[in-house]
Amino acid sequence: MTAAAAETRSEKPDDSPAGGRTGGSGGGPEGRTEGRTGGRTGGRARRGGRWIEYWDPEDEGFWRETGERVARRNLAFSVVSEHIGFSVWSLWSVMVLFMGPEYGIDPAGKFFLVAVPTLVGGVLRVPYTFAVARFGGRNWTVLSATMLLVPTAMAAVVMEPGTSYGTFLLVAALAGVGGGNFASSMTNINSFYPLRKKGWALGLNAGGGNIGVPVIQLLGLLVIGTAGAAHPRIVLAVYVPLIVLAAVLAALFMDNLAPVTNDTGAALDAAREPHTWVMSLLYIGTFGSFIGYSFAFGLVLQNQFARTPLQAASLTFLGPLLGSLIRPVGGRLADRFGGARITLGNFAAMGLATGVVIYASAERSLPVFLAGFIALFVLTGLGNGSTYKMIPGIFQAQALRRGLAGEEAAVYGRRLSGAAMGLIGAVGAFGGLAINLAFRQSFLVAGSGTPAFVSFLACYVVCGAVTWGVYLRPAVRGRRTGQGAQAPVGEADGSAAASAGDGERGTVYVEV
């Protein structure tokens, strides 16, 4: 099947393959007629907007002639929207730096304040995952981006001394909508790319979004350094037009994939699958650490090392920036060497870096603390990329173990991995909540973050042991790779045989 067999409803005909056949994707059973991703869309006609009716990225001819160009365009503007979403999600990690004694909120209250958006964002990730298929990736990106105006405007209204703590908690909770954007964005981009390129594409999408955290922190630094800590509304005023711009760009340049359908059966199957919860634990260790540390970094510097708001803001952005930039590299390394190998090595390194942080925290050595903590940020970014790459590979390998081959195996893998990503992303976000609550309790009881870091070290040891035991232990690898002749299995060096059943289909990598 080549690009000439596709038909779209895109408003940009130069990106739209011509032809008379509509198709379905691996989003659910409605897209699996004729045994191909490019079957019919379950008899459901999509009308209006930028709807692409046929999408089959595993077909090399389609991908080369049309798919890659369209996917890259959607990825670019998805990153813009997700970037703004992350900035709004982490908004209160910056706002608390503006809250001096006149606000009457103690350190424990501030840690809880920044934890609330993490909780709400984690909860919203589940419905946001299903919104892509219900409304269309482009349509939902426009709507979800526009919704970011609500927490931003409300923060501008309440950010002044004298506002009650309960009001601050309520408005901070609204910022959780920015965390939901990640799930819908990743689900959408996952549908655009073939399995062999998902690690890099998902890493780039997530990394570009994650950079929204250090960008708003840099803006906070600029405002505190120039206008002073009494002017938090300047930060909010900057983001209002950026939110509008992100929504407009999504409306003009992104597309909806008609073949992507909600499959509640896939969601239930993913929830019953043990690997979903294993990967949720690993993602708590990587992404939960990244977002939790990003939100808490400035408060830790203020309370453990007596930094002023300006001094804290001048350092806070470094870790999130490096962790965001390195995330695509984690996906690329996972594509090349296998996600499980990279993830295990990453957890080992995170344990070592945490040991350095514990020593520096106990000794009150700021330079050593910064070195260890920023190393932790870099490693969380690498781990974010490698763990997300593991998800499609795990379910593809399961399909092969079940005796499926070719397109049937690819459809099965995409169906369950897409559903699992929403659940894994939601659970992983709760890791950020746990980190901020751990810091809150640690400072309340011990006046230091050291006990919290000790608990984080124990978590990384458990995550590393689980990664090895489930995915890398020799007996497990023997079962996973001993598929017989039913279907090829891609090895970690990237040299996999072509998927059976279609000579034009590209290599399908199932090494996790």
Tens of pLDDT, residues 428-449: 889 999 999 999 999 999 989 9
Grade residue 404 by pLDDT with cuts at 50, 70 and 90. Answer: confident
- The share of the chain scoring above pLDDT 90, in percent, equals 57
* Torsion angle (degrees, nearest 10) of CA 197, 382, 260, 137: -110
Strand blocks (E) in 115-212: none
Q: What is the mean pLDDT of residues 392-398?
A: 85
More confident site: 212 or 502 = 212
37 phi, psi to nearest 5 deg: -60, -35
Instruction: Please count the other Cβ atoms lying within 10 Å of the Cβ belonging to residue 13.
Output: 9
Burial class (CB in 10 A: 0-12, 13-18, 19+), 19: middle
Beta-sheet pairing, 51-52 with 8-9: antiparallel
Grade residue 48 by pLDDT with cuts at 50, 70 and 90. Answer: low
- Cα–Cα distance list, 344 to 118, 287, 512 (Å): 26, 15, 11
Residue type, 330: G
Residues in the chain: 512
Instruction: Give the pLDDT of residue 11.
Output: 39
484: left (phi over 0), alpha (psi -120 to 50) or beta: left
**H-helix or E-strand spanning residue 507:** none
Indicate the DSSP class of residue 3.
G
Strand blocks (E) in 122-210: none
Instruction: Please count the other Cβ atoms lying within 10 Å of the Cβ belonging to residue 2.
Output: 17
Instruction: Give the pLDDT of residue 491.
Output: 34
- Per residue in 93-149, pLDDT tens? 999 999 999 999 999 999 999 999 999 999 998 899 889 888 999 999 999 999 999
Q: What is the mean pLDDT of residues 333-350?
A: 93
CA distance 132 to 126: 11
Task: Identify whether the C-beta of residue 281 lies closer than 8 Å to the C-beta of residue 466.
Answer: yes
Instruction: Give the pLDDT of residue 163.
Output: 96
Does residue 51 sit in helix, strand or coil? strand
99: left (phi over 0), alpha (psi -120 to 50) or beta: beta
- Per residue in 472-487, pLDDT tens? 988 665 555 544 333 3
CA distance 140 to 129: 10
Nearest to 312 by CA among 224, 432, 211: 224
Task: Identify whether the C-beta of residue 381 lies closer than 8 Å to the C-beta of residue 324.
Answer: yes
* Most confident segment among 262-266, 410-414, 445-449: 445-449
DSSP bridge pairs for 52: 8, 257
CA distance 422 to 309: 36
Instruction: Give the pLDDT of residue 341.
Output: 94
Name which of 244-253, 266-275, 286-295 the model is least confident about. Answer: 266-275
Task: Identify whether the C-beta of residue 139 lies closer than 8 Å to the C-beta of residue 254.
Answer: no
For the chain, report the end-to-end CA distance as a whole number of angstroms: 28
Task: Identify whether the C-beta of residue 111 lies closer than 8 Å to the C-beta of residue 296.
Answer: yes
- Cα–Cα distance list, 385 to 78, 118, 229 (Å): 17, 20, 35
